[in-house]
């Protein structure tokens, strides 16, 4: 196998490295896909802190899972990991990819690690990170072992993809006065559909169904201190009941979070029963979808990390004033330090794309990206079926639109430099130019996938001569 290494340099601190893995010229054409799926229980110990209630968990409403889908064209394989975790850092997602590469030979660049972002679940960290470390190690080991198991069980598969209209989420950025407050905005952008990938054996039995929707799993949120996968978990439970099965033999059900950074599932803080109803609406949409065949074709991949320039901290004098008003706020201590250093800083934004022939593209974006990126990518995509995952490859901060960032302090929770921007480890949000850089990165992924297809077809032709 050989690789092409393409380096691209953009202005504005955009540096991208694209790795493309075309098939070898002597490899036969693809007659079928291969696939396997696995599921591991990752329910943590009771007591682990939960984001939603902002306190320790007191019990388990429903168990948390990581689920793995490996797809192969017989030569190249890609791995999709879905997890009932609020988020993992980029180093964690990369370490999982590296461990999978070591154990299976599948390059780390062909592993997507998606977090559902359930607010009733924990994050998973690497040992050096913090208190969630031992849980993080446990999840890490289980995900890698389950992926190895999948690779050993690959079987011939037929893929079918489709989309069904459904809306269980609402844009949560409501214009009020000069700024944005957090409330349902019926006129705001939203992704009103579920994308569905069905993976079947040759005899028609199910290997897996992967479905993806974009909305914060916050139907439980602070209404309960129980551990839960929120609406994605309930949707899986309803699907299991409606379709039968739910294990590796009878077909696993995987949920991947889309770009739900500015979307809340409804009703916010509705509690367990409301969550079950929301999950049911999503599950029903999955059962309604009409799927079309994805013809067997080579699987290609491209990955690229763009750097998003971060906003400058306020001037030193203003940082000192903020800190004087709240001397115990460690975030402000760090903000003052950044103001004193006054250096340009960036946040990595890893993007990944898997293409199955010219029909299906699975694109993954990191962080809490706004749904506007998913809508844009969907509209621009050259593929018949386009899935866009958010919360994949690492989750460190919200990533809003240029328009939202230009509102400055009035930009609402996700975009204001004093709200989530201050909460993130970077202490300031990205600059408005981030939108342009991300869209450039996505375009570059598609270009690389197409280039890889051309290279491959040229090689096939020359080897046939």
Q: How far is the CB of 427 from Zn ion (least distance, A)?
A: 17
The residue sitting closest to Zn ion, measured at its beta carbon, is 368
Query: Measured from the CB atom, is 163 or 216 closer to Zn ion?
Result: 216
Q: How far is the CB of 126 from Zn ion (least distance, A)?
A: 21
Query: By rule CB under 5 A, what count of residues binds Zn ion?
Result: 1
Query: Measured from the CB atom, is 368 or 444 closer to Zn ion?
Result: 368
Query: Measured from the CB atom, is 49 or 245 closer to Zn ion?
Result: 49
Query: Measured from the CB atom, is 107 or 217 closer to Zn ion?
Result: 217
Query: Measured from the CB atom, is 246 or 393 closer to Zn ion?
Result: 393
Q: How far is the CB of 436 from Zn ion (least distance, A)?
A: 23
Q: How far is the CB of 218 from Zn ion (least distance, A)?
A: 8
CB 245 within 8 A of CB 198: no
Positions 53 through 92 that interact with Zn ion (CB under 5 A) = none
Positions 87 through 116 that interact with Zn ion (CB under 5 A) = none
Q: How far is the CB of 368 from Zn ion (least distance, A)?
A: 5
Q: How far is the CB of 117 from Zn ion (least distance, A)?
A: 6
Looking only at Cα atoms, what is the longest distance across the chain?
76
Query: Measured from the CB atom, is 369 or 448 closer to Zn ion?
Result: 369
In the shown chain, the binding pattern of residues 219 to 258 toward Zn ion, with x for contact by CB under 5 A and - for none, equals: ----------------------------------------
In the shown chain, the binding pattern of residues 185 to 224 toward Zn ion, with x for contact by CB under 5 A and - for none, equals: ----------------------------------------
Query: Measured from the CB atom, is 368 or 372 closer to Zn ion?
Result: 368
Positions 335 through 394 that interact with Zn ion (CB under 5 A) = 368
Q: Under the rule (CB under 5 A), what is the footprint of Zn ion?
A: 368
């Amino acid at each position: 196998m050989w690789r092409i290494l393409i380096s691209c340099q953009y202005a504005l601190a955009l540096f991208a490295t694209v790795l493309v893995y075309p098939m070898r010229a002597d490899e036969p054409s693809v007659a079928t896909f291969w696939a396997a799926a696995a599921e591991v229980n990752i329910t943590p110990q009771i007591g682990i802190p939960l984001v939603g209630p902002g306190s320790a968990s007191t019990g388990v409403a429903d168990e948390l899972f990581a689920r793995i889908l490996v797809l192969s064209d017989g030569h190249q394989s890609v791995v999709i990991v879905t997890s009932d975790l609020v988020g993992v850092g980029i180093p964690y997602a990369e370490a999982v990819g590296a461990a999978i590469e070591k154990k299976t030979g599948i390059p780390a660049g062909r592993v997507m690690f998606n977090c559902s972002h359930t607010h009733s679940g924990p994050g998973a960290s690497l040992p050096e990170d913090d208190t969630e470390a031992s849980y993080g190690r446990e999840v890490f080991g289980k995900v890698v072992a389950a992926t190895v198991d999948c690779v050993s069980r690959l079987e011939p598969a037929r893929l079918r993809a489709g989309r069904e209209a459904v809306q269980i989420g609402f844009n949560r950025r409501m214009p009020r006065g000069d700024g944005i407050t957090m409330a349902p905005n019926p006129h705001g952008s939203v992704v009103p559909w579920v994308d569905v990938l069905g993976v079947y054996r040759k005899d028609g039995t199910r290997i897996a169904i992967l479905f993806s929707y974009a909305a914060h799993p916050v139907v439980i949120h602070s209404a309960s201190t129980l551990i839960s996968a929120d609406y994605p978990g309930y949707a899986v439970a309803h699907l299991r009941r409606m379709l039968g099965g739910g294990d590796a033999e009878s077909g696993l059900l995987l949920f991947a979070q889309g770009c739900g950074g500015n979307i809340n599932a409804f009703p916010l803080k509705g509690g367990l029963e409301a969550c079950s109803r929301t999950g049911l609406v999503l599950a029903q949409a999955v059962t309604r979808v009409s799927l079309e065949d994805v013809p067997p074709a080579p699987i290609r991949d491209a990955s690229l990390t763009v750097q998003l320039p971060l906003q400058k901290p306020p001037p030193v004098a203003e940082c000192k004033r903020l800190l004087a008003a709240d001397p115990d706020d460690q975030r402000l201590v760090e903000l003052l330090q950044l103001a004193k250093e006054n250096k340009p800083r960036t946040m990595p934004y890893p993007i990944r794309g898997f293409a199955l022939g010219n029909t299906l593209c699975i694109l993954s974006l990191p962080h809490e990206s706004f749904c506007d990126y998913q809508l844009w990518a969907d509209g621009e995509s050259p593929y018949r079926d386009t899935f866009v995952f958010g919360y994949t490859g690492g989750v460190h901060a919200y990533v809003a639109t240029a328009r939202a960032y230009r509102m400055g302090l009035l930009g609402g929770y996700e975009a204001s430099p004093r709200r989530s921007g201050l909460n993130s480890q970077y202490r300031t949000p990205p600059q408005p130019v981030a939108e342009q850089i991300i869209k450039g990165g996505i375009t570059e992924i598609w270009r690389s996938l197409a280039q890889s297809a051309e290279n491959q077809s040229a090689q096939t032709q020359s080897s046939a001569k």
